[in-house]
Amino acid sequence: QVIKCKAAVMWEANKPFSIEEVEVAPPKAHEVRIKIMATGICRSDDHVVTGGLVTPFPIILGHEAAGVVESVGQGVTSFKPGDKVIPLFVPQCGECKSCLSTKGNLCSKNDIGAAAGLMPDGTTRFTCKGKAIHHFISTSTFTEYTVVHESAVAKIDAAAPLEKVCLIGCGFSTGYGAAVCTAKVEPGSTCAVFGLGGVGLSVVMGCKAAGASRIIAVDINSDKFAKAKELGATDCVNPKDFKKPIHEVLIEMTGQGVDYSFEVIGRTETMAAALACCQYNYGVSVIVGVPPAAQNITFDPMLLFTGRTWKGSVFGGWKSKDSVPRLVADYMKKKFVLDPLITHTLPFTKINEGFDLLRTGK
């Protein structure tokens, strides 16, 4: 059966979300239809609105969510109606080179780079006012019901609180994993984290969990510092308080720069600063924020020649289908907290207010 429900449709860039009635088609073979119970707002959704991340319009955004399986398509054996699940914006097909490698997690079936905005078979499951609506990075969670491919969804503990563990669908896992999985921060090391939104705070938590002795939190909004300290930051630095470039400030604070730095904003200037502030020979800098479309970085190659490592991390380096159920289990065992990452809880119809809170740093 086609389901009619409410969704937040983005008809074109730089406009508010429009709450519309949409038709959600039943799942085809190897697809799962999910009732979304809770969804987080992530800056990556806003990057689409502002044109920093290029996707086709009209589109249903949202990629950090948790819900319950409503129905399954032909050939689906690992999910049944009623299962609690988290959609995965990085699928895990289990067959491509990245999935088969122990080093990789970015499944080739992802729709992140050159986004088609469609299901793997090249069609969409959403219609609104007679128009086809695009999907967003295999998930599309700003809707009461969505359809995802079975490779892009993970079954989780039936007892998990969906309004909390939805954050494991992106923000928490991305940040925490960048520290423990991608960078592999060691005990006693010094870290710098640029950007203290939900993902940046999750990086702080990951550095602390890995045993870092010093975690320097960097943000131009000092209102973020109290929460950063609560979650493990040892120092908080506002670049606006200094006349010199921030990487010089961090090198002075640490002697030779930090062991690990993380850029969790998505700005080329801070990516360059994060690279420059890590130790000249064995420092590792990780890009976690989504880079803006059509912008390049010019940097002195001597920064890398001396031995630094510059790397990126998508979804915290976790293999999604394998890791999300384990992370939910760890949350249930109280191995980490999620509550401090939740600042506001709003009804779905107030999604535009949610984005206003995001954009004002609240």
153 and 46 together in one domain = yes
Distance CA 154, CA 87 (A): 6
pLDDT value for 238 = 98
Look up the CATH number of the domain holding residue 140: 3.90.180.10
Do residues 128 and 135 touch, judged by C-beta distance below 8 A?
no
Q: Which alpha helices (H) appear in 125-259, and where do they start and end? A: 162-165, 171-177, 198-209, 225-230, 246-254
DSSP state of 170: T
Q: Is 212 within the bounds of a domain?
A: yes
- Catalytic positions are 42, 44, 47, 63, 170
Q: Do 216 and 253 belong together in one domain?
A: yes
177 within some domain: no
Residue 300: burial class (beta carbons within 10 Å; 0-12, 13-18, 19+): exposed
> Going residue by residue through the chain (362 aa), what tens digit of pLDDT does each one get?
999 999 999 999 999 999 999 999 999 999 999 999 999 999 999 999 998 888 999 999 999 999 999 999 999 999 999 999 999 999 999 999 999 999 999 999 998 887 889 999 999 999 999 999 999 999 999 999 999 999 999 999 999 999 999 999 999 999 999 999 999 999 999 999 999 999 999 999 999 999 999 999 999 999 999 999 999 999 999 999 999 999 999 999 999 999 999 999 999 999 999 999 999 999 999 999 988 888 899 999 999 999 999 999 999 999 999 999 999 999 999 999 999 999 999 999 999 999 999 999 89
Backbone φ and ψ of 326, nearest 5°: -70, -40
Contacts with 244 (C-beta within 8 Å, 6 or more apart), sequence order: none
82 and 211, same domain (yes or no): no
Is residue 52 situated within a structural domain? yes
Beta carbons of 268 and 289 less than 8 angstroms apart: no
* Residues 56, 190 share a domain: no
Give the E-state strand segments of the chain in sequence order: 3-10, 18-24, 31-39, 59-60, 65-72, 84-87, 126-128, 131-133, 145-149, 153-155, 190-194, 214-218, 235-237, 260-263, 284-287, 309-312
**Residue 348, in any domain of the structure:** yes
CATH at residue 291? 3.40.50.720
Phi-psi group of 315: left, alpha or beta (phi > 0 → left; psi -120 to 50 → alpha; rest → beta): left
Residues 195 and 304 in one domain: yes
Judge whether 178 lies within some domain.
no
| DSSP code string of 129-156 | TTEEEB--TTT--SBSEEEEEGGGEEE-
Q: Residue 12's Cα: distance from chain center in Å?
A: 23
Our count of domains for the chain comes to 2
Tell me, yes or no, whether 27 and 98 share the same domain.
yes
Owning domain of residue 82: 3-171+317-360
193 and 279 in one domain? yes
**Same domain for 79 and 9?**
yes
Residue 229, token pair as written in the block? 């300290």
Residue 185's φ and ψ, nearest 5 degrees, are -55, 135
Q: Measured between alpha carbons, how far is 19 from 220 in angstroms, rounded to an integer?
A: 33
Judgement on whether residues 154 and 219 belong to the same structural domain of the protein: no
The secondary element (H helix, E strand) that includes residue 274 is helix 268-276
Nearest to 143 by CA among 42, 63, 46: 63
Q: Which residues contact 160 (CB under 8 A, 6 or more apart)?
A: 66, 84, 328, 331, 332
Residue 267 is assigned to a structural domain of this protein: yes
Same domain, 101 and 197: no
Q: What is the pLDDT of residue 108?
A: 94
| Beta-carbon count within 10 A of 236 CB | 17
Based on the fold, state whether residues 19 and 89 are members of the same structural domain. Answer: yes
Largest CA distance in the chain: 64
Q: Are residues 284 and 303 in the same domain?
A: yes
